[in-house]
Each structure stands twice: as C-alpha cells, then as structure tokens.
C-alpha cells in the first residue's frame, strides 16, 4: 500500500468544494473509494495496510485544527458521494476530542 500526502488547508466551504471534485475524480478512476479522518495519518495508514480490504493507496487530502470541521467535512463528503464510495455509515469513527491537527484521507483500490 502507498501513502501520499496531497494536503490542503483553507476555509470549510472552499475545501468542501475542492474535496467533492477531488473525490469525484477518484471515483471515476478507481474501483473503490473510502473517506476517513484521523489525527495520526501514519498510524491510520499502518492499520489500513494490515487490513484484509487490500487498499492500494491512502491519500491525505485535508488538514485542520478544528475537530468540528473535520467531523463535518467527513460527514458532508460521505453524504454527497454515499452511493459511490465504500463508507458504510456517514462517518463518526474519527478523532472526536483528541488533540489536532486533524486529517481527512481517501483510500483507493
């Protein structure tokens, strides 16, 4: 599995529009896509690389210091793309209350 950092920061609305377009592109060019959040990308990468899902790549896309922004961004992106990605629920498994920064990532097959 490969780890790539394509980190962006910015206002919530600007980043939401950018990430929607970015995920749409991933959906077009990859067999499977999943969105997630973490406060430790390296640890999350290790956990996904050891899973039986056989993801090929993890791309870290967005960084913020706000736990509210990261949770809301994950939820918004999953809801927008729900029929085309492998997320089973609308988020919620992320870094609630832990120390930031917080990251949104995309898994690709």
pLDDT per residue over 3-56, tens digit each?
Answer: 999 999 999 999 999 999 999 999 999 999 999 999 999 999 999 998 888 999
What's the Rg (C-alpha) of the chain? 13
Q: What percent of the chain has pLDDT over 70?
A: 93
Task: Look at residue 52 in the predicted model and tell me its pLDDT.
Answer: 84
Closest CA to 106 of 83, 92, 93, 87: 87
Q: What pLDDT is recorded for position 88?
A: 77
**Spatial CB neighbours of 20, under 8 Å, sequence gap ≥ 6:** 77, 80, 81
Say if pTM beats, i.e. exceeds, 0.75. Answer: yes
Domain boundaries along the sequence of the chain: 2-108
């Amino acid at each position: 599995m490969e780890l790539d950092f394509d980190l962006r920061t910015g206002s919530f609305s600007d980043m939401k529009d950018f990430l929607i377009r970015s995920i749409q592109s991933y959906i077009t060019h990859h067999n499977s896509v999943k969105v997630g959040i973490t406060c430790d990308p390296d640890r999350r990468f290790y956990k996904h690389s050891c899973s039986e899902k056989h993801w090929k790549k993890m791309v870290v896309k967005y960084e913020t210091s706000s736990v509210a922004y990261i949770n809301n961004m994950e939820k918004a992106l999953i809801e927008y793309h729900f029929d085309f990605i492998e997320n089973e629920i609308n988020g919620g498994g992320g870094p609630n209350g832990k120390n930031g920064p917080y990251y949104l990532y995309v898994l690709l097959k």
